[in-house]
Amino acid sequence: MRRRITILGSTGSIGRSALDVVRHYPERFQVVALAAHSNAELLDAQIREFAPDFAAIVDKEAASRLSVRSSHCKLLTGPEGLSEIAAVPVDIVLCAVVGAAGLSPILRAIDAGNRIALANKEPLVMAGPLILERARSRKVEVLPVDSEHNAVFQCLHGHRIEDVQCIHLTASGGPFYGRPRESLAGVTPQQATRHPTWDMGAKISVDSATLMNKGLEVIEAMWLFGLSLEQVQVVIHPQSIVHSLVEFTDGSILAHLGLTDMKFPIQFALTWPERVPVPMGRLDLTTMRDLTFARPDFSEFPCLALALQAARTGGTAPAVLNAANETAVAAFCRGQLEFLRISDVVREVLDESYISQEISLESVIAADQAARVRAEQAMAALGV
């Protein structure tokens, strides 16, 4: 029997890769629902190819550009349409919606009893305890798709979390690793999104350049695996061959190695607990020469330091961090904010925001919205 799947964010890099996996295994998967933000043209083509029962597009103006109109596919619009799509009963919902917009759909999918393949880290950063407690209460599995967390998940299989000394999340260092921070003053969005090893969307590519991405992943890993901040370490690994490592109390270290292609963790999450042959090729160990690892320099990557600060503070601090970063990165991608100012905006918002230790949907949303307003104010003071 084919596994019924929903893909939230089907026109983004993760969504497109997931549909490539489906193309290779049409006998294994049935696409029930697809959702996109505003890329109506690509969503249109995906609907024609995969014939889902449901489709959603968040941007209501973009919906007018959809040419597919049929009784077979029900079309929904707006953020509420995205959440409604997530609640359609299926075997697995792949959530690849960028940013905080994924929080509500994930909760709706969990309430519907759908297994979650989680590719966007921001909802767990914002509301990890809320999401995972709801998943536990409804006996819903949450499988990580992020390459690093997927690697840790695989290394931990068959082992007790009590035996883990720490995990090591690897980071490429982004396109500017090794360059003095002062040399990055004139960095453009095009340069920041030119990732050296991974093919990713604009926002996550910028986060990789600032290493905020790795800071968000630290917080995500703490919730996913029940670890303390001290048990989640970051190491710079420019080759991006080792995706993560798990170190046990007896000194043993298990590492997950693989090609830099997101189709591998996506396929693992969609087929788990099975392992099926991959059509993407294999890692040839004989071609590898140097695998290097280094500790990150927090003075070079202040966004990583700010993320660890938010993790240490707890409560709604990670939600504030995420909202401030999303706002600042969006302004940078529009050419309105200097690259080096991203961390300044995030730091100011973190320092000035009220942090509640209560984690509820209401407190998280309130913190998120207030932080976005503060970030806009901080940028206005800089002339943005």
* The pLDDT of residue 152: 98
Q: For residues 73 and 324, what is the distance between their CA atoms, to the nearest angstrom?
A: 37
Q: Give tens-digit pLDDT for 352-367.
A: 999 999 899 999 999 9
Residue 375 has pLDDT above 90, yes or no: yes
Counting Cα atoms < 13 Å in the Cβ hemisphere of 228 gives: 5
Residue 65 per-residue DSSP state: G
How would you classify residue 4: left for phi > 0, otherwise alpha for psi between -120 and 50, otherwise beta? beta
Residues 6+ apart with CB under 8 A from 14: 94, 96, 119, 145, 262, 266
CA 347 to chain centre: 22
Residue position matching structure tokens 């080096």: 340
Is the pTM higher than 0.75? The answer reads yes
Indicate if the alpha-carbon torsion angle 121, 122, 125, 126 is positive or negative: negative
Q: First-to-last CA distance in the chain? A: 54
Q: Which residue has the higher pLDDT, 66 or 230?
A: 230
Poorest-confidence range of 66-75, 123-132, 156-165? 66-75
User: Going from the N-terminus, what domains does the chain have, and what CATH number goes with each?
Assistant: 3-120 (3.40.50.720), 149-381 (1.10.1740.10)
* The pLDDT of residue 257: 96
Q: Give tens-digit pLDDT for 282-300.
A: 899 998 888 999 999 999 9
Output the CA–CA distances (angstroms, integers) from residue 250 to 166, 254, 264, in the order listed. Answer: 11, 12, 30
Residue 197 has pLDDT above 80, yes or no: no
Sheet containing 253-257: give its strands across: 232-236, 164-171, 242-248, 253-257
Q: Which residue has the higher pLDDT, 70 or 122?
A: 122
Query: Could you give the angle at the alpha carbon of 308 between the alpha carbons of 262 and 332, nearest 5°?
Result: 65
**What does the pLDDT average to over 28-49?**
95
CB 84 within 8 A of CB 114: no
Residue 202 has pLDDT above 90, yes or no: no
Instruction: Determine whether 357 is exposed, middle or buried from the number of CB atoms within 10 Å of its CB (0-12, 13-18, 19+).
Output: exposed
The tokens for 164 are: 């883990």
Q: For residues 361 and 145, what is the distance between their CA atoms, to the nearest angstrom?
A: 23
